[in-house]
Structure 1
Amino acid sequence: MSLTSDVKVFSNVNELYAKVAQAFIRKITELSKQRSRIQLGVSGGSIATKLFPMVSQFLEAHPEVIDNWVPIHIWLVDERHVPITSAERTSTLVRKYLTDQYPIFTLHDVLPPDTCADPVAAARAYEQELKEVFSPAQGSLDALSKKAQTVRLDFALLGMGPDGHFASLFPSHESLQAAGLVTAELDSPKPPAIRVTMTLELLRRTQVSWFVVTGSDKALALAHAIHGADYREVPASAMNQVGTIWWCDAAAAVRVNPLG
């Protein structure tokens, strides 16, 4: 295991998500003492379906927590290019559990095919929005383009697939080599086929990245990601760096060697 690997293992899925939800609340509170706003990246899957409901329930029970928070900008590390009303969109769940209930959260959504049929154009638009939000001053498009180098998420909540993909960055796909901030994935092996995703270049600049990984079907990919596999074969391995924590259940962590 790399010296930078931080792996936390819990006996079952329910305990894992409860612990991550509690830790998330603490982390946002900590970051709120250091920043005037927080740039939070989120993925879909179980992050949206399991973690967000727990966070929402906690905030409902303890509304005073938000009094100590700064505004939180939510960015989608990837999104399915499906209609805005589709249950498959991560943004649907972000709205349901977070932004519709708690004004402290602001969602920056990817343009859906309803309003932007071309996923490449949707990716360009999302990249431009990132540049504009992160830019400290209004300026020309050339000036905004130069600011791309300073765009960085403060915190990201990520999942990983059994093939080692994360966001919508899949093994051996051209999107792994994409430059800039956001790109389009036009042939995802996991449906739906068309997606918009942040690039590896951008995601690797994230200050704090948490992967939540569960299930025996991900055990081999997790071990490869932590023990230094080629990122072209196991994309998540590119994120095994300082600032990354791997939150796992026992089934997913069974192949991880704590001694390296």
Structure 2
Amino acid sequence: MTKTIDLTLSVTESPQALANHAAKLFVERCHDAIEKRGEYNVALSGGHTPKLFFKALASAKIGGSIPWEKVNFYWVDERCVEPDSEQSNYRLAKEELLHKVSATHFYRMKGEINSEKAADEYESLLRRHFQLGEGQIPRFDFILLGMGPDGHTASLFPDYDGIEITNRLVTDQYIRKMESWRITLTLPVLNNARACVFLIQGKEKHSVLARALDLLSERTLPAQRVQPTDGKLYWIVDQDAYEG
């Protein structure tokens, strides 16, 4: 059986250029989604790299044409912390983007409550909002992703059960090396997206990036297993990450 992956690799000269490139892609796909379906369903990640992306989107120069009232913001994953914690993925997006534009539809994962309950509640929310029947999976227009030095993406880590879950949309798990609970979308949700967009920067990511982009190697890294079945896969990386 032959499998074709619709993959685009873009190498930018700096982290700021990376952010601008990704933000322009976001805008382009936003207008296309709204023209075709009347809304734009997005799932955001946290971390250092998305911060510049959020700032670029919040600028009038890049994000000024977005009809924010038609954009629905969800989250890829969340740390089990209060929403005002500095570790909160929601807080980062709120401060750098959502409170700087006229966005009104955003649906955070509740990291401050029991993780299993939070995962169940978020799955129920997705089923309602996307009007899903039994066995159906939400189809996001744009999923923003990063990758850790161990190859994890979202909160799907190597050697943890979460990456193998196929009967849930959202799950929780305790990450021992980080001593923290996480809530995350599962791999089937990521792979049902119209577009998954990885943002990668920094020399420290070079070796794991080289492994992730080796399409002929065994898919041992969670990031390698993000391959949309009927969508586009974008890797947007800065020169430091690409060249090492």
* TM tier, smaller: 0.7 to 0.9
* Aligned 1:1-260 pairs, distance under 5 A: 4-58=6-60, 63=64, 65-67=65-67, 71-113=70-112, 116=113, 118-135=114-131, 146=134, 148-178=135-165, 179-187=167-175, 189=177, 191=178, 193-228=180-215, 229-231=217-219, 233-241=220-228, 242-254=231-243
**Alignment partners' CA distance in 1, 2:122 and 2:84:** 19
SS of alignment partner, residue 130 of structure 1: helix
Shift of 1:125: 0.6
Shift of 1:112: 2.9
**What is the alpha-carbon root mean square deviation over aligned residues?**
2.2
Q: What is the identity, as a one-letter code, of the residue corresponding to 2:158?
A: P
Shift of 1:122: 0.7
Structure showing greater Rg:
1
Q: What is the identity, as a one-letter code, of the residue corresponding to 1:121?
A: K
**Alignment partners' CA distance in 1, 2:50 and 2:213:** 24
Contact kept in structure 2, 1:39 and 1:75, CA below 8 Å: yes
Listed as ranges, the gaps of 5+ residues in structure 1 are 136-143, 256-260
**Alignment partners' CA distance in 2, 1:250 and 1:221:** 14
Task: Compare 118-127 and 40-49 and name the one that shifted more.
Answer: 40-49
Runs (4+) of structure 1 exceeding 6 A deviation are none
Q: What is the identity, as a one-letter code, of the residue corresponding to 1:25?
A: V
Task: Compare 17-26 and 81-90 and name the one that shifted more.
Answer: 17-26
Aligned pair count?
237
Contact kept in structure 2, 1:86 and 1:92, CA below 8 Å: yes
Contact kept in structure 1, 2:49 and 2:201, CA below 8 Å: no
Q: What is the identity, as a one-letter code, of the residue corresponding to 1:130?
A: L
SS of alignment partner, residue 197 of structure 2: strand
TM-score scaled to structure 2, two decimals? 0.88
**Alignment partners' CA distance in 1, 2:142 and 2:111:** 24
Shift of 1:152: 1.6
SS of alignment partner, residue 242 of structure 2: coil
Q: What is the identity, as a one-letter code, of the residue corresponding to 1:159?
A: G
Listed as ranges, the gaps of 5+ residues in structure 2 are none
| Identity between Structure 1 and Structure 2 (%) | 27
**Alignment partners' CA distance in 2, 1:47 and 1:182:** 23
Q: What is the identity, as a one-letter code, of the residue corresponding to 1:66?
A: I
TM-score scaled to structure 1, two decimals? 0.83
Q: What is the identity, as a one-letter code, of the residue corresponding to 2:11?
A: V
Shift in alpha-carbon separation, 1:95–1:131, aligned structure 2, 3 A: same
Match of 1:138 in 2: none
CA deviation profile, 1:13-72 (whole Å, cap 9, x unmatched)? 22222222223222212222112111101110135422101211236x874x135x6611
